[in-house]
Structure 1
Amino acid sequence: MRVLGIDPGLRNMGWGIIDMDGPRLRHVANGVIRSGGGGDAALGARLSVLFRGLCAVIAEHAPDAAAVEQTFVNRDAVGTLKLGQARGIAVLAPAEAGIEVGEYAPNAVKKTVVGVGHAGKEQIQHMVRVQLPGVQFEGPDAADALAIAICHAHHLQGRAIRPARGVA
């Protein structure tokens, strides 16, 4: 099974693709879609760049499943709203391709990949390298996206081996 992880961001949207063969994970590709312009570019144009870029990744790599990190709400309401719009693109693009999208809180991703829910970026990148030997990150956002893909892969594996209710 091929899994796409997406780290939503309005300026930089990270993506990572892994293949899952039973308990084994293999890195396929990763990258960052840059909407450019910072505050100078129109919001609609930036969202369009993110959507088209993510659709191109999906068309090229044909993932079977996708996962997105949930939005972290901070004190800047305007920034949080803009991030939420980018997150909407991250959910919409795979959904438009007929791909089911899992959603994970940042602490859940960290706990799955590192073992603790409050790990730093360096710890996350180290553990992604351990689980995907030889991986080269296209940037920190791509590393985070691979961590999200790993989290989703582990969730899918757990769901596949759990017995159905009422079955011993």
Structure 2
Amino acid sequence: MFDVEERQRVRDQLLASAEEDPGIVGAAITGSAALGEADRWSDIDLAFSVHGQLSETLERWTTRLYKDFAAVHHWDLPSGNTVYRVFLLPGWLEVDIAFTPETEFGPLGPAWHTVFGHTSQPTPGLPPHHQHLAGLAWHHALHARAVAVKSNETFVVL
């Protein structure tokens, strides 16, 4: 299982790599860490502002996560023009990176901390298709079955 120091190290390395990547023109920390509410079990949530084709940047970053961080699997959750690519690293560390066109890069809620680059005010998109919502519902329902109960710093899966 990953520890907090490892998670911080990986996040710092990802953000440093993003600053060096000419295709990434902005980055933000999102999720619980952006709110100062990360705990020992939190994953890494980042958003990148992409200049140019998303597909090229997605391919480059996927290669980087497998090569430099030994990713064992990934999957995509598209939302409008953004692709959330979710990586599983050794030790069960999850890395979620939102790859967003630079013209749409900006906070959609309070869980956002800009690290570098410029943000825009996103325009509301079309509501999601009902099939997409149904898929999210069963996906999250399955995960809700594995409820972690804290008992003296030990988590038991019910």
TM-score normalized with structure 1 length = 0.29
- Which structure shows the bigger proportion of residues in strand conformation? 2
- Higher relative CO (Cα under 8 Å, sequence separation at least 6) belongs to 1
TM-score normalized with structure 2 length = 0.30
